[in-house]
Structure 1
Amino acid sequence: MQAFTTLADIEALEQRPLAEVAPHRTPYELIRATAARFPEREAFTFLPDAELDTPPQRITYRELLAHIHRAANAFRALGVHEPDTVAMLAPNTPEAHAVLWGAQLAGRVCPINFLLQPDHIAALLQASGAKVLVALGPNAELAVWPTALAVQALHAAVLVPITMDEAVPGTPSLQDLLAAQPDTLTFVPDLNPDRAVALFHTGGTTGAPKLAQHTAGNEAHTAWFAHAFYDMDETAVEINGFPLFHVAGAFVYGLALLAIGARQVLPTLSGMRNTGFVQRYWQFCERERVTHLACVPTVLASLLGVPVNANIEGVRAAFTGGSPLPAELAQRFETATGIPVRNILGMTECAGLVSIEPLLGPRTPGSAGLRLPYTEVHAVPWRDGETQLDERCAAGETGVLVLRGPHMSPGYLDAKRNAGLFEHGWIVTGDLGHLDDAGRIHITGRAKDVIIRGSHNIDPGLVEDAFMAHPAVLQCAVVAEPDAYAGEVPVAFVVLRPGAGLDADALLREVAPQVYERPACPKRVVLVDALPLTAIGKVFKPTLRLRAIEIRLNEIAQALAPERAVRVQASDDGGRQRALITLGGVADEDLSEQLREALAAIAVPVEIRFG
């Protein structure tokens, strides 16, 4: 397959049948074919720590395939069949890959964020019907095992440790189970591409379990076509510091390389959270002859703070996704490193990929690139509170992005959760954006992130762009603050660059003239040391929305009771925000009534307490 440059390249490929272009329609078949072509090529280079003189663990494709076979056999021996689930609490290591792909052969896999609370993890195990839980064993770097023990107390499952620093007495490890199995399959796997082989949780870190199903065909489709955008072949080497419970680590930057025989450098148990590794990032790039970087915007921003103290001429590209890519950040990174930046748009519900900016094409500010082959992506009007799936926006006209194709999930495990996203054979992404004349997809925000000031819709992404263009700003996120008169107003949370001598008011004065329209200008700027991030470094806006509520309600309460201590706690109850205001001192019904009157037009339910 030739590398893509324009939409015309994709459309030309689509003149051939999909079965001819992509003959391997499951992850296992992709990996098996690669192992047959390149048995002794390196699949993984695992860095045990962040020291440059520590020898890495190197795994060939022949060894990887054998480990996958052994894992599948071991899970089948534990009673796992096609309807059953193997859950996994583990970082991105070679052993975890054996679990990820082996479990899909025996039954299905459910990788879970080990940073979640034990009760949330247990709920995911319960929802998935997990029979087996594979978890990282005791070690000095990443404390997953105590969480696994707490989870097992809440949900009965066979607990299998991945041995690292020390064994778990009386409990066979994953390595023990693999060693007891042959390196060829002991059963005939069901390789139907329409079979659901994985469950990936999505929707943040709170609330009821939300598990997106992946078929084998979903995962294989995204993985097989990605390399033509990346301009990769088997000689490519990529740093993949993303967790396997996220589609970026598993597919966008994971299976996509396994499908073509390329090599992944896996940086320690902590991945990109290992500060020692980040400080030596460029030296590891030189040592391992890295050609491609797997990033999110916050990783790009972090790397800008690391001096380039190595020869990185072999690094051809930095791909980034997970959240919108500020054009100013991309330009700064390219100028500082000489490495081209390209953007990716992905979703858990379509095995990680919607579109990619081709490396051989230009970087277009605001663009998330071109759709995958054999898929459809359109911008459709949003009217009367609904997407108009039978209509199409003109080129350049903003609408809600919808998509469908072989990468589209069959839906959530709990079908009641499908409404609003899976509609009439389409995924309604909730992203606001448009397609330009060249077919490039542009994301300008999230439909749910739209700030409605009076009757005026404000796109927070465009406001963030204005702040990111200021030389003192390192990061910015704009969210809605409740307002008694306008309903909502924008508020900007900003991380300044080190040494920037600017206060919030001065920054707002300087940026305000650059905001795309007057109603979109934030009411306030809040300077923070760091923005809340998800496990892969994506800004987690729900936390900022709660903080904005707390700031505004605190102002209102303090104005009415200046002599009292005021504490405001905002919370999210299944997507609905609410707040508790606690006023110091004895109860005062008159004050309580005044406060309720002042808050009457604020669209946030509030409880008032004294004490």
Structure 2
Amino acid sequence: MIGVANMDDVRAIETQAQLADLPSSTYAMICRGASINLSAPALSFFATVDEYRNGECWTYGQLVRDITRTANLFSRFGVQRDSVVAYVLPNLPETHFVIWGGEAAGIVCAINPLLEGEAIGELLNASGASVLVTLAPFPGTDLWQKVQAVLHKVSSLKHLVLVNPADRMPHERRSAARALQRDECSRLHGPGGIHSAVPSHVGIHDFSTAMASENGDVLSSAVEIGAEDVSSFFCTGGTTGLPKIAIRRHANEVANAWNASQFLGESIGPGKTIFCGLPLFHVNAVLVTGLLAFSRGAHVVLGTPQGYRGDGVVNRFWEIVEHYRINFFSGVPTLYGSLLDVPVGEHDISSLEYGLCGAAPMPVELLRTFQERTSVRILEGYGLTEGTCVSSVNPPLGERRAGSIGLRLPGQPMKAVVVDENGRYIRDCVADEVGQLVISGPNVFAGYTRADQNSGIWMEGGDGTRWLNTGDLGRCDSDGYFWLTGRKKELIIRGGHNIDPAAIEEPLHRHPAVQIAAAIGRPDMHAGELPVAYVQLKPDTAATEAELAEFLRREINERAALPKGIRIVDAIPLTGVGKIFKPALKRREMTDALGAALAEAGVENTTISLIDNNSRGVSLHVELSDPALQVLATSVLGRFPFAFSISVSARD
């Protein structure tokens, strides 16, 4: 399949009935992709942007060998189909070995290394991990310190596998880096080293040494991996309260990778090079720039352990594209905004075919400006962890409708439905009618690890099929393109990072002076949204915004969730039944944020009106006092994901 241009192509793929021939596991899928050409480059890595020209490279034969070795290592540790191997790692080649080797032996659990130690400990306990793979102590990183501090709280843990960052340094610097690593161990833990800092019942292993001694030809386990076996746990909830962990099966991941490959067609396959800059604890990086690419024999480039956050990666991105002849990369709107500030100059980026954008709404003006300046086409899409990753994308060969999340993937039904006040299905929406977005298909996950968290997420969709309620509002036009119009889940999306408002609200409610707290996202042209909190104090109490901010710094384990502003108000708006009415707060922040952005750009004396449109969501109208500022105002407003109009007030 060369790719999709319209819904007729999607339906044509579905009639081919190729799903029955899918591999039974992610390991088998990678092996099938590798068999296209075992000597082809599969995975490249450079530790710093200054070394991008001299990156390490694994062929497909070497990639499968190291994945197999890793799986056999875990099997030797006693990992079985229901055992959990957790990883808390940055973007390293070893991270891929652990993900796919872990799925070939047991269940892999991805944990965000940017979380604080307490949050990491909560997720390790919630997953029941028996094996943990993380970084060894190393100068300039604090991951080991965060993990080590909570190991004594994880009763299920039996084996600790440490990846030494020195192993990925260039050969000429590797010996010196290993000496620094040993010095860091001594500095942190004295003569006893790591063994003195880890519970005595936990075995400690060096990843490179242990993995290298394993057989890389065949899996040692006699247990055959089945499509319905659980492959992975991905964390989707906030970091306070009860962790929410999504259960995914091999069939989910294999189907989503196959469906996406049919949709994207020849843009991902042998001879194509994919850049991975998103973090490998996130489903987009793991599936789109991981399993999908490997299943098609493409070449994946890992750019620094921190990905796009790595020092100099964005500033030298076009150099990296030119050197590796990158064909495809995936990012979030904030990345594209940052790349706009980096001139392409004389760099040859003609190899770039597409950039995939998801995780948050992309401002239409940003999309258009990026494509005009770089000639790189952006495919805006939509997905969620519970749907494995990708649910819809703008077609690579057809019309890319700015502001749309595109056509659904083949084999993955998706629709907007009308529901009653209790969330029960009434009927399918007609074209352009806003409703609840629901999805079904082999990509849809098995549920959350906690049974009580599965209440209300499933829906009978009028056809006898079980549908997953995404929590998002949207519409589908007459040509099959979907459009998001709101998020019922109220997640705050900061630079592609999902923040549960409860992660802010619950700690605030523990403050003795707080009566009501509500966290929402404030529009931001750089981060997409920034968390802010509204607080109503109890009668006869006092607290300042600075005091509440300091309180939250001690209570919140997720740095990204720390509010950028706290607003103390006399009364938080409530609905008729006493629930917090967040739309009123969001409108206030939206008006203030847009007005501030315009003023900062030099567009003064504006009047901003917000308009609710049943089929398009919230839009805004800006009235200017000076017609000469209209072009500048259009440029500023275009960096936000809202429809807008501009008028000029009549002069006196």
* TM-score, structure 2 normalization: 0.72
Q: What residue in structure 1 maps to residue 279 of structure 2? A: 243
- Contact kept, 8 Å, 1:18 with 1:374, in 2: the verdict is no
Q: What residue in structure 1 maps to residue 331 of structure 2? A: 295
The CA deviation at 1:493 is: 5.6
Q: Distance between the aligned counterparts of 1:395 and 1:116, measured in 2?
A: 42
Q: Distance between the aligned counterparts of 2:241 and 2:248, measured in 1?
A: 21
| Mapped pair 1:438 → 2:479 | yes
For residue 509 of structure 1, the aligned residue among 606, 609, 612 is 606
What pairs up with 1:162-181 in 2 under 5 angstroms?
Answer: 162-165=163-166, 166=181, 171-181=204-214
What pairs up with 1:438-477 in 2 under 5 angstroms?
Answer: 438-449=479-490
Q: Deviations over 1:191-250 (max 9, x none)?
A: 211111111010233331111001001001111221333332212212111122110111
The CA deviation at 1:189 is: 3.8
The SS at the match of 2:404 is coil
- Contact kept, 8 Å, 1:474 with 1:495, in 2: the verdict is no
Q: What residue in structure 1 maps to residue 564 of structure 2? A: none
* CA distance 1:332–1:373, shift in 2 (3 Å): same
| Mapped pair 1:209 → 2:208 | no
* CA distance 1:391–1:36, shift in 2 (3 Å): same
| Mapped pair 1:399 → 2:435 | yes
The CA deviation at 1:53 is: 6.1
Q: Distance between the aligned counterparts of 2:427 and 2:92, measured in 1?
A: 45
The CA deviation at 1:123 is: 1.8
Q: What residue in structure 2 maps to residue 491 of structure 1? A: 588
| Mapped pair 1:320 → 2:357 | yes
- Contact kept, 8 Å, 1:114 with 1:147, in 2: the verdict is no
- Contact kept, 8 Å, 2:610 with 2:621, in 1: the verdict is no
* CA distance 1:179–1:418, shift in 2 (3 Å): same
* CA distance 1:333–1:319, shift in 2 (3 Å): same
| Mapped pair 1:34 → 2:75 | no
For residue 418 of structure 2, the aligned residue among 376, 381, 384 is 381
- Structure 2 letter corresponding to 1:7: M
The CA deviation at 1:143 is: 2.8
Q: Deviations over 1:542-575 (max 9, x none)?
A: xxxxxxxxxxxxxxxxxxxxxxxxxxxxxxxxxx
- Structure 1 letter corresponding to 2:165: M
The SS at the match of 1:391 is strand
- Contact kept, 8 Å, 1:476 with 1:492, in 2: the verdict is no
RMSD: 3.2
- Contact kept, 8 Å, 1:492 with 1:522, in 2: the verdict is no
* CA distance 1:393–1:179, shift in 2 (3 Å): same
Q: What residue in structure 1 maps to residue 400 of structure 2? A: 363
For residue 386 of structure 2, the aligned residue among 349, 356, 371 is 349
Q: Distance between the aligned counterparts of 1:508 and 1:396, measured in 2?
A: 36
The SS at the match of 2:15 is coil
Structure with greater contact order relative to length (CA < 8 Å, sep ≥ 6): 2
Q: Distance between the aligned counterparts of 2:95 and 2:74, measured in 1?
A: 14
Q: What residue in structure 1 maps to residue 152 of structure 2? A: 153
The CA deviation at 1:174 is: 0.8
Q: What residue in structure 2 maps to residue 557 of structure 1? A: none
| Mapped pair 1:188 → 2:222 | yes
* CA distance 1:450–1:251, shift in 2 (3 Å): closer
Q: Distance between the aligned counterparts of 1:484 and 1:146, measured in 2?
A: 43
Q: Deviations over 1:461-517 (max 9, x none)?
A: 9x97xx97xxxx9956798967548853412369999x9772599668254388869
The CA deviation at 1:63 is: 0.8
The CA deviation at 1:153 is: 2.4
- Structure 2 letter corresponding to 1:443: L
Q: Distance between the aligned counterparts of 1:519 and 1:15, measured in 2?
A: 38
What pairs up with 1:33-432 in 2 under 5 angstroms?
Answer: 33-52=32-51, 55-140=54-139, 142-156=141-155, 157=157, 158-165=159-166, 166=181, 171-183=204-216, 184-230=218-264, 231-309=267-345, 310-388=347-425, 390-424=426-460, 425-432=466-473
The CA deviation at 1:23 is: 2.4
- Structure 2 letter corresponding to 1:190: E
The CA deviation at 1:252 is: 2.4
Q: Distance between the aligned counterparts of 1:286 and 1:359, measured in 2?
A: 22
User: Identity percentage over the alignment?
Assistant: 32
The SS at the match of 1:125 is helix
The CA deviation at 1:350 is: 1.4
Q: Deviations over 1:124-143 (max 9, x none)?
A: 11121111100022334543
- Contact kept, 8 Å, 2:133 with 2:160, in 1: the verdict is yes
The SS at the match of 1:492 is helix
The SS at the match of 2:360 is coil
- Structure 1 letter corresponding to 2:36: R
Q: Distance between the aligned counterparts of 2:573 and 2:161, measured in 1?
A: 54
Q: Deviations over 1:522-552 (max 9, x none)?
A: 99xxxxxxxxxxxxxxx9xxxxxxxxxxxxx
Q: Distance between the aligned counterparts of 1:113 and 1:332, measured in 2?
A: 32
* CA distance 1:14–1:150, shift in 2 (3 Å): same
Q: Distance between the aligned counterparts of 1:86 and 1:132, measured in 2?
A: 5
More moved, 329-338 vs 473-482: 473-482
Q: Deviations over 1:246-269 (max 9, x none)?
A: 101111222110110111111111
- Contact kept, 8 Å, 1:222 with 1:252, in 2: the verdict is no
* CA distance 1:4–1:253, shift in 2 (3 Å): same
The SS at the match of 2:239 is coil
Q: Distance between the aligned counterparts of 1:198 and 1:237, measured in 2?
A: 26
Q: Distance between the aligned counterparts of 1:507 and 1:376, measured in 2?
A: 47
Q: Distance between the aligned counterparts of 1:274 and 1:335, measured in 2?
A: 26
- Structure 2 letter corresponding to 1:362: E
* CA distance 1:49–1:492, shift in 2 (3 Å): same
Q: Deviations over 1:61-82 (max 9, x none)?
A: 1111111111111111111111
Q: Distance between the aligned counterparts of 1:262 and 1:53, measured in 2?
A: 19
- Structure 2 letter corresponding to 1:173: D
The SS at the match of 1:276 is coil
The CA deviation at 1:26 is: 1.9
* CA distance 1:228–1:479, shift in 2 (3 Å): farther
* CA distance 1:513–1:200, shift in 2 (3 Å): closer
The CA deviation at 1:421 is: 1.8
Q: What residue in structure 1 maps to residue 15 of structure 2? A: 15
The SS at the match of 1:115 is coil
Q: What residue in structure 2 maps to residue 596 of structure 1? A: none
Structure 1 runs not aligned, ≥5 long: 452-459, 524-538, 540-611
- Contact kept, 8 Å, 2:52 with 2:320, in 1: the verdict is no
Q: Distance between the aligned counterparts of 1:215 and 1:519, measured in 2?
A: 37
* CA distance 1:75–1:484, shift in 2 (3 Å): closer
- Count of equivalent residues: 506
The CA deviation at 1:24 is: 1.6
* CA distance 1:151–1:374, shift in 2 (3 Å): same
- Contact kept, 8 Å, 2:25 with 2:250, in 1: the verdict is yes
The SS at the match of 1:306 is coil
* CA distance 1:52–1:131, shift in 2 (3 Å): closer
- Structure 2 letter corresponding to 1:207: G
Q: Distance between the aligned counterparts of 1:81 and 1:282, measured in 2?
A: 44
